[in-house]
Structure 1
Amino acid sequence: MTIVDWNRLAERALAGEELEREVARAVLQAEDNQLLEQLAAAYRVRRHYWENRVRLHFLLNAQSGLCPEDCNYCSQSKLSMAEIEKYPFMSQGKILAAAERAHQLQAGTFCMVISGRSPSEKVFNQVLEAVQAVKGRYPMKICACLGLLDQQQTQALAEAGVDRVNHNLNTAEAYHSSICSTHMFQDRVETVTAVQTAGLTTCSGGILGMGETDDDVIDLALSLRRLQVTSVPVNFLIPIPGTPLAEAGTTLTPRQCLRILCLFRLLLPSQEIRIAGGREVHMRQLQPLGLYAANSIFIGDYLTTPGQATRLDFEMIRDAGFVLENADGTPLPAVPVETLIPSAQAAP
């Protein structure tokens, strides 16, 4: 096994060097007794770019289910038998109510997601109207996740006030056909490129624990690096009953999740890295350690699965010595956890 000098790896990441594949494999395959050294190296890089700040994102599933794609991990795909709520695009009133909650929870970014391959003209226009309404009331950034998009659509989103568009690569190009056949890896790359051409910042990451190899994990991170995406959500597969991947299960452990986060930080040193779906399921009591590599989390629920109670998220951030970040990147003043939780949403 390759012997790793973790301090040297941090120095290389800070210098902008791309790690060799052999070294990247060593990060993922390191023994447990090296985990704290790994995290220290990742935190050195994270601290350089993000200090001790944590960004909060709030996710709204604004249109659920009825998707014609066959992504094996997704509870909303045409293959899924999962018992989820299905509904068309939400009313503007419901979207504004969700934005109000996001604002109360100190989220810097409001993420609006719809199911489907690509939005219809009617839904796309509703999205534009909702974006303008939210922007007119709340000082949050807006991230839209709308499926495959072309240059004309991304330009319209930019003009409406969208700050960022999410479109995950999901996995390595070589493994993509194992999880989806209704669109290609290149389709996803082209959407990310269209977002960049429109002058919007890019949010793109993946889902780990779907049966991919270590080389697939590395290839995903390298693809994101070469695309120069701005924000990188790292999801860990939630095997939702009724989805094809539910039966396959996953071999993820809390320690392996931390090693993956360390690798992403070392290969994507300046990017916002977000511990996204599945952190509660797979990282469990080690969730706070993930913040030494990542600088962002979702607060609240995910698309069709519940997240951790908001009180626990705020306490985790505070107890680990981190501080919340405003939408403009400045740290928020420290306040009691109780004041950050809207009374109607308070968790025990």
Structure 2
Amino acid sequence: MNFPNWNALADRALEGECLEREAARAVLHAPDDVLLDQLAAAYRVRRHYWGNRVRFHFLLNAQSGLCPEDCHYCSQSKISSAEIEKYPLMAKEKILSAAERAASLNAGTFCFVISGRSPNDSTLGKVVEAVREIKQTSDLKVCACLGLLSEEQTRQLADAGVDRVNHNLNTSEDYHPNICNTHTWRDRATTLKNVKAAGITTCSGGIIGMGESDDDIIDLALQLRELKVTSVPINFLIPIPGTPFARLNELNPRRCLRVLCLFRFLLPSQEIRIAGGREVHLRSLQPLGLYPANSIFVGDYLTTPGQAARRDLEMLQDAGFILEAPDGSPLDSKIPLNRLS
């Protein structure tokens, strides 16, 4: 395989050009001895749009388990036997307390997640009520992840003040039947279109390491580009015991970094977030992930733990990155670490 000049790829990304599939494959197949060159080129693109700022997102699993869908990667699905907490929608007081915790960690976005196919009227009403109170009492951006959504449901969320809705495509359209059969890839894409029609910012990404091919990864990035998604979380599969993908183990830190570089080249201006699996798969190379990506989750994920917030801030400060406020401005890079646990 002929490998391109990485800086030339960065130039093309900055000019708004879309890479050909051969160049995209080369990013994923490049040898280890050019990885730092790839990262430097990806950082040129990231720096152009985001400077050296990093945004923290805080994730709340507000309703856990009890899901009728059969997503093979998920510990909350109906086909999972994973030992996780299962509970209905949290009381509003607990949700507001979690939002306060997010603000104390200097998170720019509070990500509110419920399990299930789609919220019923009662659940959506409680979500709307909680969001309105959060917006009245803090500067946090609110991102809601509620499953499949209709046009009417997205309008209600917009009226409540939801800033962003997350609904991941997860993988390419062609590979989707290998990871889920209770809904289609098109169902997910329709939800994103409903979100955009309601005037809410779209958040959608994928999960890497589910047995997909390089072309599936490339297709996912291209499909997100076509949909003009604003925020892109990249998850790396955690093979949770009790799920159908429990035995999958396809990733290493260098592979994960190449994937992040590819998404930066194909989605140059988007917010790219290193999401679930960051600590498990990037391990000691986590700081290098911030050269293509510009946001991370702080704290825990849905049913798996993350590293301590203190360590996340140390990682940023040690690498010379600056934490970003909800309005996009830089926060004091010398935030006392003793404020974080």
Q: Same fold (TM over 0.5)?
A: yes
Letter of the 1:295 partner, please give it.
Answer: N
TM-score (norm 2): 0.99
Alignment of 1:212 onto 2:212? yes
Q: Which residue of 1 aligns with 2:124?
A: 124
Structure 1 position 3, deviation (Å): 2.1
Task: Indicate the SS of the match to 1:68.
Answer: coil
Q: Which residue of 2 aligns with 1:15?
A: 15
Quote the Cα distance in structure 1 between the aligned partners of 2:335 and 2:121.
Answer: 45
Task: Indicate the SS of the match to 1:319.
Answer: helix
Q: Which residue of 2 aligns with 1:40?
A: 40
Asked whether the 8 Å contact 1:112–1:143 carries over to 2, the reply is yes
Quote the Cα distance in structure 2 between the aligned partners of 1:93 and 1:336.
Answer: 28
Asked whether the 8 Å contact 1:53–1:325 carries over to 2, the reply is yes
1:212-260 C-alpha deviation (Å, 9 max, x unpaired): 000000000000000000000000000011001002x121000000000
Quote the Cα distance in structure 2 between the aligned partners of 1:336 and 1:47.
Answer: 22
Letter of the 2:221 partner, please give it.
Answer: A
Quote the Cα distance in structure 1 between the aligned partners of 2:8 and 2:106.
Answer: 36
Structure 1 position 340, deviation (Å): 3.8
Asked whether the 8 Å contact 1:235–1:276 carries over to 2, the reply is yes
1:18-48 C-alpha deviation (Å, 9 max, x unpaired): 0000000000000000100000010000000
Alignment of 1:279 onto 2:278? yes
Quote the Cα distance in structure 1 between the aligned partners of 2:206 and 2:335.
Answer: 34
Which residues in structure 2 correspond to 1:177-216 (within 5 Å)?
177-216=177-216
1:183-229 C-alpha deviation (Å, 9 max, x unpaired): 00000000000000000000000000000000000000000000000
TM-score (norm 1): 0.97
Letter of the 1:234 partner, please give it.
Answer: I
Letter of the 2:237 partner, please give it.
Answer: L
Q: Which residue of 2 aligns with 1:321?
A: 320
Quote the Cα distance in structure 1 between the aligned partners of 2:338 and 2:306.
Answer: 20
Q: Which residue of 1 aligns with 2:81?
A: 81
Letter of the 1:15 partner, please give it.
Answer: E
Q: Which residue of 2 aligns with 1:221?
A: 221
Runs of 4+ in 1 over 4 A off after TM superposition: none
Letter of the 1:121 partner, please give it.
Answer: D
Quote the Cα distance in structure 2 between the aligned partners of 1:316 and 1:274.
Answer: 15
Quote the Cα distance in structure 1 between the aligned partners of 2:301 and 2:236.
Answer: 12
Structure 1 position 133, deviation (Å): 1.2
Asked whether the 8 Å contact 1:49–1:270 carries over to 2, the reply is yes
Structure 1 position 121, deviation (Å): 0.7
Which residues in structure 2 correspond to 1:1-348 (within 5 Å)?
1-247=1-247, 249-341=248-340, 346=341
Task: Indicate the SS of the match to 1:143.
Answer: strand
Task: Indicate the SS of the match to 2:174.
Answer: helix
Asked whether the 8 Å contact 1:196–1:202 carries over to 2, the reply is yes
Letter of the 2:201 partner, please give it.
Answer: T
Task: Indicate the SS of the match to 2:111.
Answer: strand
Task: Indicate the SS of the match to 2:245.
Answer: helix
Quote the Cα distance in structure 2 between the aligned partners of 1:124 and 1:213.
Answer: 37
1:22-78 C-alpha deviation (Å, 9 max, x unpaired): 000000000000100000010000000000000000000000000000000000000
Quote the Cα distance in structure 2 between the aligned partners of 1:212 and 1:315.
Answer: 34
Structure 1 position 4, deviation (Å): 1.1
Asked whether the 8 Å contact 2:201–2:230 carries over to 1, the reply is yes
Identity value in percent: 69
Structure 1 position 136, deviation (Å): 1.3
Task: Indicate the SS of the match to 1:22.
Answer: helix
Quote the Cα distance in structure 2 between the aligned partners of 1:252 and 1:133.
Answer: 41
Structure 1 position 2, deviation (Å): 1.8
Unaligned regions of 5+ residues in structure 2, if any? none
Asked whether the 8 Å contact 1:147–1:167 carries over to 2, the reply is yes
Quote the Cα distance in structure 2 between the aligned partners of 1:337 and 1:23.
Answer: 43
1:85-128 C-alpha deviation (Å, 9 max, x unpaired): 00000001100110111000000100000000000111010000
Letter of the 2:301 partner, please give it.
Answer: Y
Quote the Cα distance in structure 1 between the aligned partners of 2:229 and 2:124.
Answer: 24
Q: What count of residue pairs does the alignment treat as equivalent?
A: 341
Task: Indicate the SS of the match to 1:82.
Answer: coil
Task: Indicate the SS of the match to 1:174.
Answer: coil
Quote the Cα distance in structure 1 between the aligned partners of 2:323 and 2:338.
Answer: 13
Asked whether the 8 Å contact 1:254–1:283 carries over to 2, the reply is yes
Quote the Cα distance in structure 2 between the aligned partners of 1:340 and 1:292.
Answer: 26
Unaligned regions of 5+ residues in structure 1, if any? none
Quote the Cα distance in structure 2 between the aligned partners of 1:185 and 1:195.
Answer: 16
Structure 1 position 339, deviation (Å): 4.4
Asked whether the 8 Å contact 2:313–2:337 carries over to 1, the reply is no
